Amino acid sequence: MKTFTKTLGLAVLALSVNSFANGSIDTSKSAVKWTGYGIGKSHWGHVGLKEADLKFDKKGEPTAGTVVVDLNSIETKDIEDKDTAGKLNGHLKNADFFDVEKFPTATYTADSITKQKDGSYVLRGKLKIKDVEDAKDVVLKPVVEGDTTYLTGSFKFNRAKHNVKYNSGAFVSLAKLGDKVIKDVIDLELKLAVKK
C-alpha cells in the first residue's frame, strides 16, 4: 500500500518581503500525496483537503491553524488499470484501513507556528486519524510558482498509532504475514496553495 499523502499539514503564503498575507489555503489548488510501502513494492496517490483554517498575529504571521483532509477522496495514482485501482481505493476506505464511513476526515492541528531564519515555518501540533491523536511536527517552506505561492513540505506518520491495523507487523506477527506485510510508516507530501 503506497497510499496516502503528507499529509496531513497546513500553512500560509509568504510574500516577497518574507511576511504572510492574511489569506487562507485554496483547497482546490492544493495537493497531498501519500506513499505506502510493502515488501519490495509501493503505491502512491492523492487525497484532497476539505478545509483549512489559519490564525494570524498583528504582523500577519501565522500562529496556529487546522487542516482537514477528506479521506473519502483517497485515490491511487500509480495503477493504470482502473478496476485494480478502484479495488485498492475501496480497500483503503473500508474498515481494514481508514474506515471512512465512521471516520470521514483526518485532521492536523498546529498549536503553534514558528518562523525560522531560512524563511521556513515549523508547525508543532497533532495528527488525528480514526479519533487517535499523535504529536507531529511539520516543516513547510514557501515556494512561488507563477502567481501562486505554495507551502511545501513532507512528513511521515505511523498508521499503527492510529489503529490502522491491516497486515501491520505491530498487530500480527511478521512470521505469519510474510511478504504480505504492509509497512506502518506512510509518507505524506504537502503542497498547499495560499490565497492572496
pLDDT tens-place string over residues 43-93: 999 999 999 887 888 887 889 989 999 999 999 999 999 999 999 999 999
Convert 14-41 into a string of H (helix), E (strand) and C (coil): ECCCCCECCCCEEEEEEEEEEEEEECCC
Give CA–CA dist 174/181, Å, rounded: 7
pTM of the model: 0.86
Q: Is residue 5 part of a domain?
A: no
pLDDT at 12: 34
Residue 104, domain member (yes or no): yes
Residue 14 inside a domain? The answer is no
Q: Which domain holds residue 102?
A: 25-194
Please list the ranges in the chain whose pLDDT falls under 70.
1-23
What number of residues does the chain have? Answer: 196
Q: How many domains does the chain have?
A: 1
Q: What is the CATH number of the domain that holds 68?
A: 2.40.128.110
- Helix, strand, or coil (residue 170): coil
pLDDT of residue 23: 57
Asked if the structure places residue 7 within a domain, the reply is no
Tell me whether residue 33 is in a domain: yes
Q: What is the DSSP letter of 182?
A: B
**What pLDDT score does 2 carry?**
44
Residue with cell 501540533: 125
